[in-house]
């Protein structure tokens, strides 16, 4: 199961992602990111991996593709941070912990 919550704040839109990032839910994350990019009006889009419990190859591929498109990520917890660091090398972009 995957839960994606949208949090609107003044200068950014945050997608909070919780649960298992595996098929078919990895495609749901990609769709949610594409939809969330619409109507940003100059705000930043930030995807936060919160309480990520599992990820498979399809989930990793989805995150890598989103990174390559310039979407910023924040990992909450040791597991999520490590996954993002490893995928950032694959995406050839440095992983930078987003500011809160």
Instruction: Please report the DSSP string for 14-58 in residue order.
Output: EEEEEEEE-TTHHHHHHHHHHHHHTT-TTPEEEEEEEEEEEE-HH
Bigger pLDDT: 45 vs 99 = 45
In this prediction, residue 98 carries a pLDDT of: 52
Q: Over range 38-52, report the average pLDDT.
A: 93
Where do the structural domains in the chain lie, given as residue ranges? 2-91
- The listed CATH number (3.30.750.24, 1.10.760.10, 3.40.50.300, 3.30.450.20) that belongs to domain 2-91: 3.30.750.24
- Give the separation between CA 20 and CA 36, rounded to whole angstroms: 20
| Residue predicted with more confidence, 94 or 65 | 65
């Amino acid at each position: 199961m995957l839960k994606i919550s949208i949090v609107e704040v003044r200068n950014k839109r945050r997608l909070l992602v919780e649960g298992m990032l595996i098929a078919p839910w990895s495609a749901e994350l990609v769709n949610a990111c594409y939809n969330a990019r619409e109507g940003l009006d100059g705000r930043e889009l930030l995807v936060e991996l919160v309480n990520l419990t599992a990820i498979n190859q399809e989930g990793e591929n989805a995150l890598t593709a989103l990174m390559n498109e310039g979407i910023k990520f924040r990992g909450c917890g040791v597991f999520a941070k490590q996954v993002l660091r490893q995928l950032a090398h694959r995406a050839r972009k440095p992983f930078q912990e987003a500011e809160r």
